[in-house]
């Protein structure tokens, strides 16, 4: 009798429906809105930095960090989100480099190096960004040995 109860329970468990596949967060409205928000902040921060308004650029970069983290926390971030994150890290690295914080700048550029070295599928833009990160790291290294 006990064997029959176990067999019945196993059959009922096997008839359960499979769990729903996880939702792709990159298809949700908040994701594309956050990408656009980060792209806009990057544009504004770059303009501020190039105009000599470093404090304003730094504030925008700081404000963009949580957005970047949220975008990159999904299992497969989109190319647009990755590019926006890369732009934020690059600008932050260039600001640190300009302020002679070479080690910290190098760290920002290393994030981009890792990001673009492993990007799939490989694209000309990913290759350009990889080379940009390598060049920035080399510049940091030149200053570190001075």
- The answer to whether residue 15 is domain-embedded is no
- The answer to whether residue 75 is domain-embedded is yes
Overall domain count for the chain:
1
- The answer to whether residue 21 is domain-embedded is no
- The answer to whether residue 13 is domain-embedded is no
The dihedrals phi and psi of 17, each to the nearest 5 degrees, come to -75, 150
Place of tokens 């730094």: 58
Decide: residue 133, CB within 10 A, 0-12 exposed, 13-18 middle, 19+ buried. Answer: buried
- Identify the domain containing residue 121 by its residue range: 28-144
pTM value is 0.83
- The answer to whether residue 11 is domain-embedded is no
Tens of pLDDT along the chain (146 residues) come to 666 566 556 555 655 565 666 788 999 999 999 999 999 999 999 999 999 999 999 999 999 999 999 999 999 999 999 999 999 999 999 999 999 999 999 999 999 999 999 999 999 999 999 999 999 999 999 999 88
Cβ atoms 45, 57 nearer than 8 A: yes
């Amino acid at each position: 009798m006990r064997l029959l109860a176990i067999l019945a329970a196993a059959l009922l468990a096997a008839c359960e429906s499979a769990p729903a596949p996880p939702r792709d967060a990159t298809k949700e409205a908040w994701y594309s809105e956050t990408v656009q928000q980060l792209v806009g902040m990057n544009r504004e921060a770059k303009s501020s930095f190039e105009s000599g308004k470093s404090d304003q650029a730094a504030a925008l970069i700081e404000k963009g960090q949580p957005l970047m983290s949220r975008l990159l926390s999904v299992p497969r971030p989109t190319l647009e989100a990755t590019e926006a994150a890369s732009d934020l890290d690059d600008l932050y690295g260039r600001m640190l480099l300009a302020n002679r914080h070479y080690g910290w700048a190098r760290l920002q550029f290393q994030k981009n190096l890792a990001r673009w070295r492993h990007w799939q599928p490989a694209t000309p833009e990913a290759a350009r960004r990889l080379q940009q990160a390598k060049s920035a790291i080399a510049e940091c290294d030149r200053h570190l040995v001075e």
